[in-house]
Structure 1
Amino acid sequence: MSRSETTVIVVGAGPAGASLAYLLASRGIPVTLLERHHDFSREFRGEVLLPSGFEALREMGLHNIVTTIPHVVPTAFELYANGRPVFQVPFNADTFGSSPLTALSQPAFLKAIIERTRTLPHFRVELGVTVNELLRADGHVTGVALRGPSGDQTLHSDLVVGADGRNSIVRRACNLQAHKHGIDFDIVWFKTPLPEYIGDQAPFRAYFGRRHLLIAYPSADGFLQTAWIIHKGTYGELRRRGISEWIEEMAHHVTPDLATHLRAHKGSLTNPFLLSTVSDRVTHWSAPGALVIGDAAHTMSPVGAQGINIALRDVVVAANHLVPVLRQPRASQRIAAATEAIEHERTPELALMQRFQSIPPRLVMGHTVWAAAFRTMIPRLLQFEMVRRRAAATALPTFLFGHGDVRLQV
C-alpha cells in the first residue's frame, strides 16, 4: 500500500469539489481532488445556473467558462394551470441583471474547471478512485484510504473536504447527523428531442394542477428536459402500467402542443429514471480534520433549481475561511475554528431557502383543504399583474440571488 501527503483532500469532483479545489490550488494550497468516476460523461440533474450561482463563479474568476461550453439561456418563464396558460414572463436584464438564468452542460462545466486547475502547480486529480474509509489519529481525521487503478493507497492531509453528494462517504464516516426539511417526493426525469413548437425560442415551462407538477425546458445538449414531480411511492404503480400509460397521464396535465410531442416520442425517451428527492441538512458540517459542503452538507429539494447555486456559494465562503489558516503551519485548531465559521455563515441562507422550497410542493401536491383552495384560486389571482408582482417580490429575489452577500475575500 502506497502513502502520500497533501494539505487538503477534496472528495468528489462535482461543482462544489472541483471549484473549491481550483480556489485552494490557485491560492497556493496543495490539494488533491478525488473522483470515483473515470470521466464526467454521465447524467447530471443540477444544470440550471441562477444569478446567485453565476455571481459566485464570477467571484472565483470562473464565470467565463460558461460561454465556452454548451449552454442555453431560456427566453421566458411560462406558467400553466390545469393545462391552461396563466402568464408568461420574459427573462431579461430587468429581472436577472447581468447574470441570466442558464441551463448548462454540467459534464462540460466540470471538465473545463478541472482542465484549468490542472495548470496549477499545487493541484493533483485522481479519477476512478474510491474512498473506502477515513484515516484517524488521536480523534482527528488525517486522510483517506482509497482504491484506484494502481491498487490500495493512503493519502494523508491536514483537512478532508467531503463534496461527494447526498450519499457522502465523508458525511457517513464522520457520523454527521442530518434532519429533513420539507416533504419528500419523486421525480420522473427524462429527455426527448426538442419539440417543433419551440422554434427559435427557449421557454422554461411549468405546469401545475390536479396535484401534479411538471417542468420542461431546453437543455444544453439540444433536448427537451422534462421533470414530472409525483407523490412519493407512486412510481411503482406507474411503471407497472407501462410507459404509454404514464406518458398519457402526463399528457393530461399539459398543453396540447407538449402532449402531442410526448405521445409522439414515448418510445424514444432519453435517459429516463426516477429521482427520489429529499431535503435535509446536517446539524454539524465538520468533525476534527473534516468538513462537508454542497449536497454532502445539505441535500436541496429541486424546487427553485438551487442545488448547484447553493453549492457554489458554499465554496466561496469555505475559501474565505480556509485559505488564511491553511497557509499557516500546524493549523489544526485554526482549521477547526474555520470549519465551524463556514457552517455558521452558511446556515441562515440554507434554513431560509429550504423553508421556501418546502412551500410549493405542499400547496401544489398537498391533500389539505388549504392546498385544494390554493390550487383553485391561484390561477385566477395570478392573472392580475398586481398579484403577480406581489408574489414575485415575496420569494423570487431569494431564489434568484440568494440570501446574504457572498464575496470572495482571499
Structure 2
Amino acid sequence: MSTVRSIKRDCVIAGGGPAGMVLGYLLARAGLQVTVLEKHADFLRDFRGDTIHPSTITLLRELGLVERFLDLPLTRISTMDAVFDGERFTIADFGTLPAPDNFLVFAPQWDFLNFLAAEASALPGFELRMSTRADEVLYDGGRVAGVRATDPDGGLDVRAPLTVAADGRGSVLRNDAGLYPTGSGVPIDVLWFHLPKPRDPRPPTLGYVSGKGMVLTLDRGSYYQSGMIIRKDSFETIKAEGLAAFRARIAAAAPHLAVPAESIVGWDQIKLLSVKINRLKVWHRPGFIAIGDAAHAMSPMFGVGVNYAIQDAVALANAVAPGLARGEVRDDTLAAVQKRREVPVRKMQRIQRLGHRAIARRPGRRAFVPRPAKWVLRTFAPRIRRAAARFIGIGFRPEHPQIF
C-alpha cells in the first residue's frame, strides 16, 4: 500500500483557473505559503472565458503587472458593437471610462493563466501543482483542515488553516463539504466554434442578432471565436438537421459569414456550453470557502464570469491574509466575504436571467428588436453607451488589493 504524503501550507486552493491563480498570487505576495492544485497537465482548454474587463486591467495595474500582461497576444477593443436586424449599434463605449484602463481585452485564457502562473512562481511562498486532482476535504474535528489529492506519485494531503474551492461549477470540494448550489432555469445554450475571418471583416462586433438567429464573434486576431445561441437542450435536434442546415443558420444571422462557415465540416468542431446560473446559499464552512463558479455559476452573457471570479479572489485575499499570517481564519471573516460578494453576484445574475428570457422569446420573429427599442437605442445612445460601459466593464462592486 502506497503511503500518503503530507505537507502543510497556510492556504490550499483547488482549481488553477482565474480565481484560484489570482488568489494564490495575492496570498503569496502577502508572504503566505500557498499551494494551488490543478488537475490538468496544462491550461489548454478551448472555449473558456477570455474576456478581461477594465476592472481586471485596473487590478493588474495596481499590482504592477499590467504592462507585462498587455504584451501577451491579445485583442483590445474600445467599443462593444452589435448588429440588430442588419443595423449596427454601439452598445458600450469603454472609452468613456476613466483612463488609462478604458478598454476591454480578449485574451486566450490559457495565455492569461500561464502569465499568472509565471508571475506567482517568482514569489517564494507560491506553489502550483499541475496534474494534481483535489479529491476530498480533510477534517480536524468540525473544521475543514485541508485537501486529500492525487498526483502522478500517488496520494497527497495538503493541510492548511484555509481551504478554497475554486474548481469551477462542477466543484468536487464544494460538494464534498456539503454545499450544493440552487439553480434558476435558463432557456438557452451556446454552441462554440472557430470561424476564419472573411476577406472583408466587419468592425469588431460582439454579435449579429435577428429573428433568424444570434451569432457571436469574438475577435482572436486571425479568426473568430464564434458562438450561436440556441434553445435549451436543442443541440441534438440541430445535429439531426445536418451540418449544411447549421451553416445556413450562421449565414442567415450574419450573411458575411457564409463563406467562413464552410470551414465547419464536422460536429467535433462544435462544442456545447450548457448555460447555467446558480448560486450557493452558503459559501463557507469552518476553514473552507468556495469562490468563482464553485460559488456562483454565471451565464456567458456580457462575459463577466472571469472578472467576477477574480473579484471574489481579491475580496477573499484582503479579508483573510492578516489572519492567515497568524495561522487562523475566523468563520465570521468568511461569512463577511460572502456577504460582500453575493450582492454584485445577485444583481448581475438577475440581469442575465432577464436577458435570457428576452432572447428566448424573440427567435422566429421578423424583427428581433422592436422599433420602439431601436428608437431608444438611437435617441439615448451616448447615455446608454456610458452606462453600459460602466455596468459591463467595471461592474457593481469592483475590488482592489488592500494589503500588498
Q: What is the TM-score with the length of structure 2 in the denominator?
A: 0.91
Q: Which residue of structure 1 aligns with residue 341 of structure 2?
A: 346
Q: 1:271 to 1:337 in 2, by over 3 A?
A: farther
Secondary structure of residue in 1 paired with 2:200: helix
Q: Distance in 1 between matches of 2:323 and 2:305?
A: 28
Q: Is contact 2:93-2:389 (8 Å) kept?
A: no
Q: Which residue of structure 1 aligns with residue 325 of structure 2?
A: 327
Q: What displacement does 1:184 show?
A: 4.0
Tell me, which stretches of 5 or more residues in structure 2 are unaligned? none
Q: Which residue of structure 2 aligns with residue 209 of structure 1?
A: 210
Q: Distance in 2 between matches of 1:92 and 1:293?
A: 27
Q: Which residue of structure 2 aligns with residue 292 of structure 1?
A: 290
Q: Which residue of structure 2 aligns with residue 276 of structure 1?
A: 274
Q: Distance in 2 between matches of 1:380 and 1:308?
A: 30
Q: Distance in 2 between matches of 1:383 and 1:345?
A: 33
Q: Which residue of structure 2 aligns with residue 404 of structure 1?
A: 397
Q: 1:92 to 1:321 in 2, by over 3 A?
A: closer
Secondary structure of residue in 2 paired with 1:299: coil
Q: What displacement does 1:181 show?
A: 4.1
Residues 345-400 of structure 1: CA distance to partner in whole angstroms, max 9, x if unpaired? 111111111111222221122279xx99973335642562x233454455542222
Q: Distance in 2 between matches of 1:266 and 1:382?
A: 37
Secondary structure of residue in 1 paired with 2:390: helix
Q: Distance in 1 between matches of 2:343 and 2:298?
A: 14
Q: 1:26 to 1:63 in 2, by over 3 A?
A: same
Q: Is contact 1:161-1:290 (8 Å) kept?
A: yes
- 1:28 matched to 2:31? The reply is yes
Counterpart of 2:332 (choices 328, 334, 337) is 337
Q: Which residue of structure 2 aligns with residue 98 of structure 1?
A: 100
Secondary structure of residue in 2 paired with 1:197: coil
Q: What displacement does 1:179 show?
A: 2.2
Q: Distance in 2 between matches of 1:96 and 1:103?
A: 19
- 1:225 matched to 2:225? The reply is yes
Matches within 5 A, 1:10-159: 10-74=13-77, 76-82=79-85, 84-88=86-90, 93-95=95-97, 97-99=99-101, 100-159=103-162
Q: Which residue of structure 1 aligns with residue 260 of structure 2?
A: 261
Residues 246-275 of structure 1: CA distance to partner in whole angstroms, max 9, x if unpaired? 111221122x2123332x323278842111
Secondary structure of residue in 1 paired with 2:309: helix
Q: What displacement does 1:239 show?
A: 0.9
Secondary structure of residue in 1 paired with 2:57: helix
Q: Which residue of structure 1 aligns with residue 302 of structure 2?
A: 304
Q: Is contact 1:209-1:253 (8 Å) kept?
A: yes
Q: What displacement does 1:344 show?
A: 0.9
Q: 1:45 to 1:183 in 2, by over 3 A?
A: same
- % identical equivalent positions: 28
Q: How many correspondences in the alignment? A: 398
Q: What displacement does 1:299 show?
A: 0.6
Q: Is contact 1:18-1:114 (8 Å) kept?
A: yes
Q: Distance in 1 between matches of 2:88 and 2:106?
A: 23
Q: What displacement does 1:277 show?
A: 0.8
- 1:355 matched to 2:353? The reply is no
Q: Which residue of structure 1 aligns with residue 369 of structure 2?
A: 375
Tell me, which stretches of 5 or more residues in structure 1 are unaligned? none
Q: How much is the aligned-residue C-alpha RMSD, in angstroms?
A: 2.5
Q: Distance in 2 between matches of 1:235 and 1:409?
A: 46
After the TM superposition, which of the residue ranges 86-95 and 289-298 deviates more from structure 2? 86-95
AA matched with 2:294: A
Matches within 5 A, 1:175-190: 175-181=178-184, 183-190=186-193
Q: Distance in 1 between matches of 2:248 and 2:368?
A: 26
Secondary structure of residue in 1 paired with 2:299: coil
Q: Is contact 2:92-2:388 (8 Å) kept?
A: no
Q: Which residue of structure 2 aligns with residue 4 of structure 1?
A: 7
Residues 321-363 of structure 1: CA distance to partner in whole angstroms, max 9, x if unpaired? 011111113x24x2x2221111111111111111112222211
Secondary structure of residue in 2 paired with 1:69: coil
Q: Is contact 1:184-1:278 (8 Å) kept?
A: no
Q: What displacement does 1:78 show?
A: 3.0
Q: Is contact 1:8-1:160 (8 Å) kept?
A: yes
Q: Distance in 2 between matches of 1:143 and 1:90?
A: 43
Residues 79-123 of structure 1: CA distance to partner in whole angstroms, max 9, x if unpaired? 2223x1242468562357422111002111111111121121111
